[in-house]
Amino acid sequence: MLLFEPFNIGHKLELANRIVMPPVVTRLATVEGKVTEELIQRYLLYAQGGAGLVITEAVSVKEQKSGQLLRLNHDEFIPGLKELTDRVHSESDAKIAPQIIHFLKIARSGYRQKVEDLSLEEVKEIPLLFAAAAARAREAGFDAVELHYAHAYTMSSFLSRHNHRKDEYGRSLKGRLRLAEDVVIASRQAVGDDFVLGARINGDEFTLGGNALNQSRPIASRLAELGLDYVSVSAGGRFEDAVPREGEALDPYTGYSGHRSMPPKWMQEKVNVYLAADIRQTLRNGGHSTPVITAGRIPTAKVAEEILQDGQADLIGIARPILCDPYWPKKSREGREKEILKCIYCNECREAEGAFEEVTCVQWKKKDGSIAPPKP
């Protein structure tokens, strides 16, 4: 199967297979953004389970209040992350990359900072923050860096048609792309040409008036022109259609766009794959061989293989099924599908993340009340 064959990203990084564990928040970091032993053990599970590439939960590039979110905004965070990468590399064949993120302020009072609120000085600082974090990631021993350009956060919000800035960082697609271009250029300079630099984007925002494929095609093409090593295609997860809850900060994963980001059980399998397939074809038509990652309700190796055989993507993101059974890749490769604890797409894991609780699978709970993941 193609799924279990090695894959080389840009002749820079060879993966043992085409399975990617995309970012899944664990809530296992400290509130100061430090690595814990519990967090290391969680990522070791994913790595030892057989995923070719493990991408961590989002890692902040800026010092700000963010709950149990990993950080790379200062050199003090390098040692903890270095321990994580050393353990992954010594105890598995997996490669590991951080997804680095910049996000805007949000409060329980209902206040939400928007890209229009940022001063020009604040905007121009963002590429420097990403570049510094990317350089620290390489120093910490990561194999690649993923820029977070998707969902509800700063970079995606600049790219979005919901960006209403009136200066050079808005007004048109060219203006909305400017910051994304600046971040790629600065980050590339920071990590060097021999290091894998990718980005996750939205193929469609699934909000009224937001980006759709007409916008994501030229966005992906421009990022490929700038030398991005891969494009991971996600969807939705926007504030514009979030459901307000009294006394809580607005959650971008509560509306329809949020459901498209993490498709629940009532949505069809492969519901978002057509977005990656379209962007991949756009890149190929433009002469770019940039690998494309797809994700979203891909429950089995058979379904993943069909996507690869049909040329709809180059790498397969398997998030919730691997959270449910970290040995999904290993058991699938060995023909032990019947032993896999299967994700039921109930999104209880998503609810835990939104409540700032440790993220586990609801199926890990034993009859005696203990909680433990499946065995190898």
Residue 367 neighbours by CB under 8 Å, 6+ apart: none
- Answer whether 64's CB lies under 8 Å from 74's CB: no
**Using CA atoms, how far apart are residues 79 and 368, in angstroms rounded to an integer?**
38
Tell me which DSSP letter residue 106 carries.
B
Vertex 211: Cα angle to 18 and 281 (nearest 5):
40
Residue in 43, 46, 153, 230 annotated catalytic: 153
Tell me which DSSP letter residue 342 carries.
-
Q: How many other CB atoms sit within 10 Å of the CB of residue 353?
A: 22
| Pairing mode of beta strands 13-15, 7-9 | antiparallel
User: Is 153 a residue of the active site?
Assistant: yes
Residue 233 neighbours by CB under 8 Å, 6+ apart: 200, 201, 202, 203, 216, 220, 272, 275, 276, 279, 292, 293, 294, 295, 313
Amino acid at 283: L
Active site residues: 153
